[in-house]
Amino acid sequence: MKYNLTRKKAGIIILIVIIAPIIYNKISGQIAALIQRQAMLMPKEVIVDTPHIEQVNVSAEATGRVEAKYSVDVIARVPGFLIKKYFKEGDFVKKGQLLFQIDPREYQIEVNNSAANVSQYNALLKNAQQELNRANALIKEDLISRSDVDQSLATRNQNKALLEAARQQLALAKVNLSYTSIKSPIDGRIGKVNITEGNYVTATSGSLVNISSVNPVYVTFSLKGDDFVKLLQSSNHLKDVKVQVQFDDGQWYDKTGTINFVDNKIDKDSGSVYMRATFDNSKSWLVPGAYMKVKLTAPKIVNYLTVPQACTKGDAMSGYYVWAVQDNKAVRKNIEVSDDINNNWVVEKGLNNSDVIVVSGIQNITTEGQKLKPVSNTETSKK
């Protein structure tokens, strides 16, 4: 059987072939949109829980800096040429250890001359005393005048004063001689030499080298005024506050410090209080100049209302909020947070412990008032 297609029939067939997919796509798209709309009207499943109450010690954090308890610039106390150095840069040195030697020869000569003057005036005093003794004996027999006795007494006193001055000059010369041997004033680690041997130095030449004590050390920091008051109210005048420091790698130092200084006012510009803690540094792990995280913990235990950080939205600038569920509908709750405890925010305002909040599935919530299907977090954890 043969089919004779007219030109009109062929055109109709071609038109049907072209239009049919278009009609199909449109109808299927409308059906898909209708299904999606119906699906959106269905309540979204979310996991809910109530805020938790956590019992923790009152604490605060700050950024601190390690400082040496003693830091001494060694200077020359008498002028002269540096002729020798007795240490290696970076060494640990002991108090009284010889560090530098200034040429002592001229100071030794001054000591010798002063000693000779003492001997000379000592001999003159002895002679003047003998003359006075004779004068006192002769006046008893009226062999000399009273003025002769007074003259002998004046001579004796003059030589006595000269001897005392010579002794003081000798003592000063010995002190200056001792200053030519420059010794360490403290125990500590010595730094880089600023003036080397061969240079002529004076007291105004500046630091020859710096020595910093290493044990114990200070950690200084500034604490926000609110945190300071909070710690003060939760401790015995901060005496029982535990101070910990953390290295850059997250490791905590294995010894705790004690607060040994608190400034007498809150800085008007920064709103913080300058404080200082003392740490044992027998292992020399705390290096002066290093910055560290400081955590202060008071003995008082307080109850904090907390929510998981993962269930909050927003930021510190715009503020945080959580989604709560009331009558199976989404309700936005703006909250104020302070510290974080174990990845949970401490909530200061905006929630109470009876609120039901969304802890998982917040991505399913697009608008306030949206219908939700809440599932208890405790039920989820049992599965």
pLDDT at residue number 147: 83
pLDDT at residue number 7: 67
Written as one string, the DSSP assignment of 311-361 is G-EEETTTEEEEEEEETTEEEEEEEEEEEEETTEEEEEES--TT--EEEE-
Kindly state the tokens that stand for 250.
């997250």
Residue type at position 340: D
Kindly state the tokens that stand for 193.
């030499």
| Alpha-carbon gap, residue 356 to 99, rounded angstroms | 72
Contact 311, 46 (CB under 8 A): no
pLDDT at residue number 1: 45
Rounded to 5°, the CA angle 373-377-382 comes to 115
Domains assigned to the chain = 44-55+304-382 (2.40.420.20), 60-69+214-301 (2.40.30.170), 76-103+180-212 (2.40.50.100), 104-178 (1.10.287.470)
Q: Helix and strand tally (H, E) in the chain?
A: 5, 21
* Interval 317-370: pLDDT, tens: 778 999 999 888 889 999 998 877 878 888 989 998 888 999 888 888 888 888
pLDDT at residue number 88: 94
With a pLDDT cut of 70, the percent of the chain lying above it is: 90
Give 358's contacts (C-beta < 8 A, 6+ positions apart): 46, 47, 48, 311, 322, 323, 324, 325, 330, 365, 372, 374
Question: Average pLDDT per run of 10 along the chain, which is 383 residues long?
Answer: 59 70 72 58 81 86 94 95 95 95 96 94 89 82 79 88 94 96 95 94 94 95 92 89 94 94 91 95 92 92 87 83 89 86 86 89 85 76 51
**pTM given for the model:** 0.64
